[in-house]
Amino acid sequence: MSGPALRVLRAGPAMSVQDRGRAGTLALGLAAGGAADPLALTEAAVLLGHALSSAALEMAAQGGRFEATGDLRIALTGAPMRAAIDGNPVVWNASHPLRGGQILDLGAATSGIYGYLSVGGGLETAAYLGSRSVHPAAGIGRLIAAGDLLPCGADTGGPTGRGLAADDRFSGGTIRVVAGPQTALFDKETLDRFAATTFTRDPRGNRQGARLGHDGLPFAAAGQLALLSEPILPGDIQMTGDGAPFVLGPDCQTTGGYPRIGTVVPDDLPRALQARPGALIRFVFVERRTALQDFIARRRAEERLAADTYPLVRDPADIPDLLTRQLIGGVTTGEDALHDAIGAPRNDRGNTSR
């Protein structure tokens, strides 16, 4: 083992190791997989200064309890969860030291679904076909359970106690869609109605996809019962047999026979997957060329993300250090720090098309 490990003392129901997924396995019938909210991995990589490809723990709606077997640096990103180290609240979307023997408690998500726990150097669980992402339904790996010991990669070191304003993708909103090979099977009236409808995130959803509900007529395509199965992708919006949209997620199947009205652009897919039941979602069709330009601009903006981190001067996790160095005047409470983090100004990173 190359470094300290993270011991899982308690795990929520759908906790798994995820990175950015695999490439080149679609022809075998295996989807790319990977984190439901890749931006959370990017934010963690920026906060910890490690590789974008690093694997992290993805936690669906519920966190867990963890112990460091040696000194670690951690980052908490994605759907905000109540977080505490040895009982002292720590802020979300930030990096913290987790020293050997310290206990990290992560509670329920306070908004969104998928929260991420990253360690400096990344998790070094077993890789399969080029990725550490597990996909239990496909027979690849299993969910995290209490008692698991997760090996951590060699940490090249770096700062902790840094925060980063999170783009809000946790409460639904407007989602960009590009047309696909079956969009034209839907008539103009249906496409217009789709773009004018406010959908509600349905409770039914997981890494395979998210179902949406709406008032009004079902959405149907011409000849939809006789469609030949074709390749399907994460982000595709299938109209299921009862005419409700189902947005495919990273663990979707590789082929499907339901008609697809379009594809959610990759940077907006977390808005669908992170939306909680009841959250409101609308779709707007955009030209593919525009969406591609926005995608490239967004990647360039992410390369500059490190400049947006800021020191967590009032992070209680740092208070013991600060006290020993006699740098602190007034002690703030954990709740204040938590409130500060959630109230931190939203930072628009060049996503110009909403």
Partner 1 sequence: MTPASATTLPSVLPLGLSGWLVRFADRLDDGANRAALAFRAAVEAEAWPEVVETSLALGSVYVACAPHNGDPGALDARLSALVASRDWFAADLPTGRRLWTIPAAFGGSAGPELAEAADLARSSDDAAIAAFTARPLRILTLGFAPGMPYLGMLPGVWDIPRRSGLTDRVPTGALAVAVRQVVMFPAAMPTGWRQVGRTAFRAFRPDSATPVPLRPGDEIRFTAITHDQLAEIAATDRSGDGGAHIEDMP
Interacting residue ranges for partner 1, rule: CB under 8 A = 23-30, 128-129, 137-140, 178-185, 191, 225-231, 233, 235-236, 241, 253-256, 263, 265-266, 285, 288-289, 291-292, 295-296, 299
The SS3 assignment for 107 reads strand
Which residue number, 105 or 267, has a Cβ lying nearer to partner 1?
267
Quick one: 180 or 334, whose CB is closer to partner 1?
180
Which residue, 34 or 64, is less far from partner 1 as judged by CB? 34
Name the minimum Å distance from CB 87 to partner 1. 41
C-alpha span between 185 and 117 (Å, rounded): 42
Residue 306 to residue 122: CA distance in whole angstroms: 18
Closest CA to 161 of 218, 227, 96: 96
Query: Based on CB atoms, which residue is closest to partner 1, 57 or 286?
Result: 286
Closest C-alpha among 34, 13, 28, 15 to residue 251: 34
Taking alpha carbons only, the member of 83, 80, 129, 126 closest to residue 106 is 83
Least distance CB 310 / partner 1 (angstroms) = 29
Q: Closest approach of Cβ 114 to partner 1, in Å?
A: 21
Reference 29, options 142, 167, 137, 160; nearest CA is: 137
Q: How far is the CB of 106 from partner 1 (least distance, A)?
A: 30
Q: How many Cα atoms sit within 13 Å of 97 on the Cβ side?
A: 15
**Do 37 and 274 contact (CB within 8 A), yes or no?**
yes
* Closer of 161 and 270 to partner 1 (Cβ): 270
Among 4, 104, 1, 19, which residue's Cα sits nearest to residue 57?
Answer: 19
Nearer to partner 1, 14 or 179 (CB): 179
CB of 117 to partner 1, least distance (A): 26
Looking at beta carbons only, is 191 or 342 nearer to partner 1?
191
3-state secondary structure at position 75: strand
User: 230 by DSSP, 3-state: which?
Assistant: strand
CB of 283 to partner 1, least distance (A): 14
Minimum separation from the CB atom of position 248 to partner 1 (A) = 11
